[in-house]
């Protein structure tokens, strides 16, 4: 996969847990244009092991001299976000993928309701810029724990005025989803990005109010979970490899020098799907892409986030 | 017809069925389509608000008086298609997300309703549609751009340029019409057999 060489131009601590990184191209040229909701995958070399984490681009799509991402520090995870917080410094060179959009706005929508929870605000930062620029009807509801955790809240209020509604949990500002979604005009689309409980609540509320699936949009990148180590066999590459507990199958395949397709690395897009040729154990599916029937069939697996509990797993790669 | 062959743009219609999660129901029917509406009420009488817009038939069975008995409130009867479309355009701005739209009648009627619905933010994939009368097709002439209605044969004459058109399965949702191509362009006057296949 072709990558863009960048260097870190600025780092800003936005909240106690969130840092904002500004990237410029190493050769000083403009970045490719992107659309609201796009993300890039950042490659990090952590002690010789390559981590690749997806982050939403949160600058305005009109600005291509720099890309902006924000990273929430996740203490009990595999270390990518902690490395971004503790080890990445201004001037450091990094590699990122070209932007991909798996969370685009519905162009035919007549009204757009953006629902963000915590760090889930990031994809909306670029979308809201697109909505304002095109003169669309929109509102953003941003829920966060307490005032000091509302990353970019005042910046959003300054730029988008009363289109922005902040719901601060610690001061009793809970978002009334049922009230919000029950009286929306025809042609409204709803978008949600945030913690799993919030995404599920929005999907269930919209469905129970009769909203068609085509008007409900969500994005939820999963971090590859830590699990028991297991062995896999790559049939076409003729390799036997071990997937360590803190590495995903996809990362282990890449570390063994086998080129694998990917886009989101978060169990959403389906690009890295592999055929399971043989196994003597259970597949532990963690993705949002395969249907329940596909998961039950045991014939396919998404190596970016899923694991297995087995002695033998043969993959068609 | 070739087996296993399928044109993606050709619409697939179903039988009307209530969408139980809807917060309101709007049923639009034309002429003999009244029967599909009666069948819908045979399934159940939903608790959510229901509106039925009915266009009286030019010919054939008329269900206005029976519908008046089955749909106690929310029934609006109009004399023709144009008046029903106007009533629909009047109602939609006061409706909210969660409304389900059901349409039954001729294919041409269905896509006229879909056009009004689209202007108010309802995409055609979210409309439940049942063809309840003829299979007759509206055909768009790719040569002169005229749409000829009620073609029941595999080959029909364009009402605009009088070319003989082969009626394809390729369908335009925007125009509500199938594609028609001149059938004898290479050997003028030599026509395949003309058969009624869309009665």
In chain A, residues with a C-beta closer than 8 Å to the C-beta of B96 are 182-186
**Residue B94 contacts A where some CB pair is shorter than 8 Å:** no
Q: Do residue A182 and residue B120 have CB atoms under 8 angstroms apart?
A: no
Q: Label residue B1 by pLDDT band (50, 70, 90).
A: low
- A151 or B1: which leads in pLDDT: A151
| pLDDT tier, B26 (very low <50, low <70, confident <90, very high otherwise) | very high
Q: Does B120 touch chain A (CB under 8 A)?
A: yes
Q: How far is CA A76 from CA A83, A309, B82, in A?
A: 12, 22, 64
Task: DSSP for A151-201, please give it.
Answer: TTHHHHHHHHGGGEEEEEGGGT----HHHHHHTPBTTEEEEEES-HHHHHH
Q: What is the per-residue pLDDT for B5?
A: 79
CA angle A229, A224, A118 (to 5 degrees): 150
Span A22-71, pLDDT tens digits: 999 999 999 999 999 999 999 999 988 888 899 999 999 989 999 999 99
Question: What are the residues of chain A with a beta carbon less than 8 Å away from any beta carbon of chain B?
Answer: 108-110, 181-188, 207-212, 214-215
Chain B environment of A215 (Cβ under 8 Å): 97, 126
The structure's pTM equals 0.87
Tell which of B50, B88, B92, B97 to mutate to test the A interface (max A CBs under 10 Å): B97
CA atoms of A38 and B43, how far apart (whole Å): 45
pLDDT in tens, A90-141: 999 999 999 999 999 999 899 999 999 999 999 999 999 999 999 999 999 9
Residue B26 DSSP symbol = E
Nearest CB to B21: which of A182, A183, A208?
A208
* Burial category of A35 from C-beta neighbours within 10 Å (exposed 0-12, middle 13-18, buried 19 and up): middle
Q: What is the pLDDT of residue A266?
A: 87
Inter-chain residue contact B120 with A186, CB threshold 8 Å: yes
Contact list in A for residue B92 (CB cut-off 8 A) is: 186
- pLDDT of A171: 82
Which residues from chain A sit within 8 angstroms of residue B18, using beta carbons? Answer: none
Number of other CB atoms surrounding residue B90 within 10 Å: 11
Contact between B87 and B76 (Cβ < 8 Å): yes
Quote the pLDDT of residue A14.
95
Nearest Cβ partner of B121 from A182, A185, A211?
A185
Q: Are A209 and A178 in contact (CB under 8 A)?
A: yes
Measure CB to CB from residue A186 to each of B19, B22, B121 and give the nearest one: B121
SS3 A232: strand
Query: Which residues on chain A are in Cβ contact (under 8 Å) with B121?
Result: 109-110, 185-188
**Whole-number average pLDDT of chain B:** 93
Q: Which of B21, B23, B121 sits opposite A187 (nearest CB)?
A: B121
Alpha helices in chain A (DSSP H): 80-86, 122-133, 153-160, 177-182, 196-208, 249-255, 292-297
Please determine, for residue A208, whether its predicted confidence score (pLDDT) is greater than 80.
yes
Contact A184 B123 (CB under 8 A): no
Q: Is B190 on the interface with A (CB under 8 A)?
A: no
Shortest CA gap A36–chain B (Å) = 22
pLDDT at B15 over 80: yes
Answer whether A186 sits within 8 Å of B123, measured CB to CB. Answer: no
Render pLDDT for A164-191 as a digit per residue (tens, 0 to 9): 999 998 887 789 999 999 999 999 999 9
State the DSSP code for A145: S
> Over 90: is that where the pLDDT of B60 sits?
no
State how far residue A215 is from chain B, nearest Cα, in angstroms.
Answer: 9
Residues facing residue A313 across a β-bridge: A279
pLDDT in tens, B131-156: 998 899 999 999 999 999 999 999 99
């Amino acid at each position: 996969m072709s990558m863009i060489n960048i260097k870190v131009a600025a780092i800003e601590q936005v909240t106690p847990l969130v840092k904002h990184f500004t990237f410029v191209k190493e050769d000083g040229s403009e970045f490719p244009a992107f659309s609201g909701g796009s993300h890039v995958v950042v490659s990090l070399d952590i002690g010789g092991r390559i981590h690749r984490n997806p982050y939403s681009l949160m600058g305005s799509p009109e600005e291509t001299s720099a890309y902006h991402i924000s990273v929430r520090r996740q203490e009990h995870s595999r270390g990518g976000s902690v490395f971004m917080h503790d080890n990445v410094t201004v001037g450091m060179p990094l590699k990122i993928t070209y932007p991909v959009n798996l969370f685009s706005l519905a162009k035919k929508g007549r009204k757009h309701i953006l629902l963000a929870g915590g760090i889930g605000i990031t994809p909306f930062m670029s979308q809201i810029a697109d909505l304002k620029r095109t003169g669309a009807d929109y509102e953003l509801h941003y829920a966060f724990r307490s005032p000091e955790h509302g990353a970019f809240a005042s910046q959003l209020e300054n730029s988008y005025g009363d289109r922005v509604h902040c719901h601060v949990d610690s001061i009793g500002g809970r978002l009334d989803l049922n009230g919000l979604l029950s009286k929306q005009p025809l042609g409204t689309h709803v978008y949600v990005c945030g913690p799993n409980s919030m995404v599920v609540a929005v999907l269930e509320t919209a469905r129970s109010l009769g909203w068609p699936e085509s008007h409900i949009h969500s994005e939820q990148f999963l971090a590859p979970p830590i699990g028991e180590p297991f062995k896999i066999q790559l049939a076409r590459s003729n390799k036997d490899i071990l997937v360590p507990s803190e590495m995903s199958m996809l990362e282990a395949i890449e570390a063994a020098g086998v080129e694998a397709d990917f886009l989101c690395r978060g169990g959403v897009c389906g690009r890295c799907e592999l055929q399971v040729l043989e196994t003597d154990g259970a597949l532990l599916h963690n993705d949002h892409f395969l249907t329940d029937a596909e998961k039950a069939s045991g014939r396919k697996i998404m190596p970016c986030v899923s694991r297995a509990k087995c002695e033998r797993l043969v993959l068609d790669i | 017809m070739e087996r296993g062959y399928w044109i993606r743009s050709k619409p697939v219609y179903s039988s009307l069925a209530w969408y139980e999660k809807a917060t309101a129901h709007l049923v639009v029917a034309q002429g003999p389509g009244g029967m599909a509406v009666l069948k819908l009420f045979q399934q159940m009488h939903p608790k959510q608000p229901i509106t039925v817009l009915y266009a009286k038939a030019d010919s054939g069975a008329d269900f206005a008086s029976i519908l008046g008995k089955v749909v106690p409130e929310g029934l609006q009867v109009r004399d023709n298609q144009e008046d029903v479309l106007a009533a629909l355009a009047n109602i939609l701005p006061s409706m909210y997300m969660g409304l389900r739209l059901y349409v039954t009648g001729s294919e041409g009627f269905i896509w006229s309703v879909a056009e009004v619905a689209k202007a108010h933010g309802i995409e055609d994939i979210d409309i439940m549609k049942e063809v309840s009368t003829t299979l007759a097709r509206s055909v768009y002439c790719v040569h002169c751009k005229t749409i000829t209605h009620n073609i029941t044969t595999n080959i029909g004459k364009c009402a605009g340029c009088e070319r003989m058109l082969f009626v394809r399965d390729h369908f335009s949702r925007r125009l509500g019409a199938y594609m028609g191509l001149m059938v004898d362009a290479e050997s003028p006057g030599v026509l395949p057999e003309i058969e009624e296949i869309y009665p």
